[in-house]
Amino acid sequence: MTIVGRLFVTNICLTIPPIRVTGDGMSAETVQLLAAFEALPASEKQDFVKELFWRLPPLDSGPLDDEEVARAGDELAAMLDQEEHDARVR
């Protein structure tokens, strides 16, 4: 599907460049939002993503198994050890 057109958002008109959308099952509104997002300058994309993350519903990824918890703990310990080492070197 190729989307070309204009999107009006509260008195702002964004010209949407032609883009190729490959997401199956997306609504037309979602495709329009993605196309408008692609038309934004990089700095506005960053601002948009920050605001979007604040609005996302909580994600429940399910229970963690012991191996995942142990691996995360090991990674955190290694990161803290590295930070402590770097602080001593300064």
Query: In this model, does residue 71 exceed pLDDT 70?
Result: yes
Q: Evaluate whether 32 touches 3 at the Cβ level (below 8 Å).
A: yes
Distance separating alpha carbons of residues 17 and 43, to the nearest angstrom: 18
Q: How does residue 8 score in pLDDT terms, banded at 50, 70 and 90?
A: very low
pLDDT at site 88: 87
Q: Collapsing DSSP states into helix, strand and coil, what is residue 1?
A: coil
Q: What is the pLDDT of residue 60?
A: 82
Burial of residue 43 (number of CB atoms within 10 Å: 0-12, 13-18, 19+): exposed
Question: pLDDT value at position 49?
Answer: 92
Mean pLDDT of the region 68-84: 93
Characterize the bridge pairing of strands 12-20 and 2-9: antiparallel
- pLDDT, residue 5, reads 46
Q: Which two tokens stand for residue 3?
A: 């989307």
pLDDT in tens, 17-34: 555 555 568 888 888 888
Residue-wise pLDDT for 10-21, tens only, equals 445 555 555 555
Q: What average pLDDT does the segment 1-13 reach?
A: 46
With the C-alpha atoms ordered 18, 24, 50, 78, is the resulting torsion angle positive or negative? Answer: negative
